[in-house]
Structure 1
Amino acid sequence: MANPSRRSFPATGLATGLAVGAASGLAACQPVQTVKAASDAGGTTVEVEGVPIHLARSGQGRPLVLIHGASGNLNDMTFRLGPALADRFEVIAVDRPGHGRSGIPAGGDVPITTQARLIRGALARIGIDRALVVGHSYGGSVALAWAVDAPGSVSALVLLGAPSQVWEGGLGLTNDLLASAVIGPALASALPHLVTEGFATRTLATVFAPQPAPPGYLAHLDLGLVLQPASLRENARQLVGLKEEIRPLVPAYPRLAMPIELVHGDADRTVGLDIHSRPFARQVPQAELVVLPGVGHMLHQVATAEVAARIRATARRTAG
């Protein structure tokens, strides 16, 4: 295994952590209680290039898009961050393709550039052609792809603990297996029946470390949505492909002209501050880096006020 100090985007996250633990339970033939099925939810679904994209809107003001990370859905963004911003912005939280209630194109190929294009198309369908774009973790990589491919549609960019550079190592055997066309479908179908909500809560503690997960977060996220077999497989495929999808973006970073804010916890053990956000801040002259002392990867949940303040400050740096 690679040295953790050099692995800048290790195979952590709720779905991956649950998969590892559930696979251990499967190997031991331990019966466990299944999680509840995904509940119904509000929001709007629009079709873009034949793909359903689900989004939720709140607030009034300048449009602001929130893009969730791996192993999640838009509920991650509507738990704390969206409500904290809805007093000044029209907040649009989106289910990335393959997650929550959004679909994927025929053939299942959805690199970050395609995800960005589909989300951009969904905004166009609701009458928004330019927005402040905020992405957390993997969602930040999607936001970067959006900014590189269609800079005129991004008024400002905020990256929260986001991978932006090529890193050493891979993302773990579990993601490789789930992404596999041979064993992936069977493994993804079995996992939801092997995960208890208690085990999910313990896994969540690892994802949020060193801070505790906020009460009510797991119920709001909707574990049933996270553990949909199709979402588990798509999550793994997207993670496995991310490093090579970032590679061609890196040379374009210095050409980005919109205001850019990077917010990163210095206790983040999922996406390395020194391997991602610090190099990006050197590559892009106008990028501003804010480091949150002692804060881990889920900064938008555990330091919501600070993150929301930085987003508002970034909005003030642009007129559109």
Structure 2
Amino acid sequence: MTLKILLALGLLLLGGCAVIDRKADRREARFEERWPPVGQFLEVDGRRVHALVTGEGPDLVLLHGASGNIRDFTFDFVDRVKDRYRVIVFDRPGLGYTDRAPGTPESIFAARAESPAAQAAFLKKAADLLGVKDEIVLGHSYGGAVALAWGLDHDPAALVVLSGAVIPWSGGLGLQYNVLGSPLGGAMIPPVATAFATRGLIDQTVAEIFKPQPAPEGYVDHVGPGLTLRRETVRANARQLTDLHGHVSAMALRYGSLTLPVEIVHGTEDDVVPDHVHAGPLSELLPNDTLTLLPNVGHMPHHAQPQAVVDAIDRAAARAGLR
């Protein structure tokens, strides 16, 4: 192949990338207009943290899972607990409207992400700015690992681990995340996802997360899937997920030191984070836990059986002497 042909192919590739990036720029602007911030912004170490604060009572911190944001909890769960807790909901680093945590590589080719411990430390500083104390920390899915890191390093009053991805598992995450979590894949694929992902693909993905229950009516329009599809959010999410196994492998060695009250809530039909891989083994490692398994419930118990999750929070508060 001659140099002229190689140069021509290179120019075509660059031109295609430029077209895709322009389309991605336009879609990201529409996404942020459609789903604007719903809380307030705090500055932590020169970075922005998005937090929603509402209600009165003992402090309850809510941490969403992978691909999520504050809106997963504001769909209706916050309204179920704000009558007796001061609820603080954070966008985790790199997701929603919270910046990446300090120390995270800035290059689009970077393959590393902030650990659950780094996320907990970053959000704990934000919580301190809000005067949070003796907090109950609830983490869903990936947020469960952040909640446990919060418990290991920052002395909360109690934890609620909801469908938590918290124990090292066998196997991988699949080709999608292996590619997205790589330097080259993380640079090249997110613009295509941002520019071309369809509503049908979004609905299919949400259905897989919720099964065997259906997603609540209006959930997709509320939660803001476009926020997840932004290029930097796609990269942050994929890299956090591909790093998670190593982090929870190290964290699990310390779980036995957690003497605070821990409530574990998990659906028995969770195919995303299976209970027998995570909830059961976690319960065996913790010295002061209560395990609640919800029959026929999938990965989203706070939507499928919200009262069971509220009950777990209330038990955590009582066990911690907050009620």
TM-score normalized by structure 1? Answer: 0.86
TM superposition shift of 1:77: 1.3
Are the equivalent residues in 1 in contact too, given 2:69–2:91 (CA < 8 A)? yes
Structure-2 separation of matches of 1:129 and 1:291: 29
From 60, 65, 74, the counterpart of 1:78: 74
Are the equivalent residues in 2 in contact too, given 1:75–1:221 (CA < 8 A)? yes
Q: CA RMSD in A?
A: 1.7
Structure-2 separation of matches of 1:182 and 1:164: 28
Q: Give the number of the structure with larger relative contact order, counting CA–CA contacts within 8 Å between residues 6 or more apart.
A: 1
Report what 1:126 is aligned to: 130
**Deviates most, 289-298 or 160-169:** 160-169
The secondary structure found in structure 2 opposite 1:134 is strand
TM superposition shift of 1:290: 0.4
The secondary structure found in structure 1 opposite 2:232 is helix
Counterpart check, 1:48 vs 2:44: yes
From 70, 87, 91, the counterpart of 1:91: 87
Structure-2 separation of matches of 1:267 and 1:311: 22
TM superposition shift of 1:158: 0.3
Report what 1:261 is aligned to: 263
The secondary structure found in structure 1 opposite 2:41 is strand
TM superposition shift of 1:202: 2.2
From 177, 182, 191, the counterpart of 1:180: 182
Report what 1:288 is aligned to: 290
Report what 2:239 is aligned to: 237
Superposed CA offset, 1:177-232 (max 9, x none): 22222232221011022212233112211110000000111111111111111000
Report what 1:5 is aligned to: none
Structure-2 separation of matches of 1:182 and 1:276: 31
Superposed CA offset, 1:46-103 (max 9, x none): 1112221111011111110000000111111111221111111011110000000000
TM superposition shift of 1:42: 2.7
Structure-1 separation of matches of 2:217 and 2:94: 27
Structure-2 separation of matches of 1:143 and 1:199: 30
Q: What does residue range 1-320 of structure 1 map to in structure 2 within 5 Å?
A: 36-38=30-32, 39-104=35-100, 105-108=102-105, 109-150=113-154, 152=155, 154-320=156-322
Structure-2 separation of matches of 1:136 and 1:107: 23
In structure 1, stretches of 5+ residues that fail to align are 1-25, 27-33
Structure having the larger proportion of residues in helix: 2
TM superposition shift of 1:106: 4.8
Are the equivalent residues in 2 in contact too, given 1:80–1:304 (CA < 8 A)? no
TM superposition shift of 1:165: 1.2
Structure-2 separation of matches of 1:176 and 1:266: 27
**Deviates most, 133-142 or 73-82:** 73-82
**Deviates most, 100-109 or 42-51:** 100-109
Superposed CA offset, 1:244-288 (max 9, x none): 001111121111111110000000011111111111111113210
Structure-1 separation of matches of 2:222 and 2:93: 20
Instruction: Tell me the percent identity.
Output: 37
The secondary structure found in structure 2 opposite 1:297 is coil
Q: Quick one: which amino acid aligns to residue 207 of structure 2? A: A
- Aligned length, in residue pairs: 287
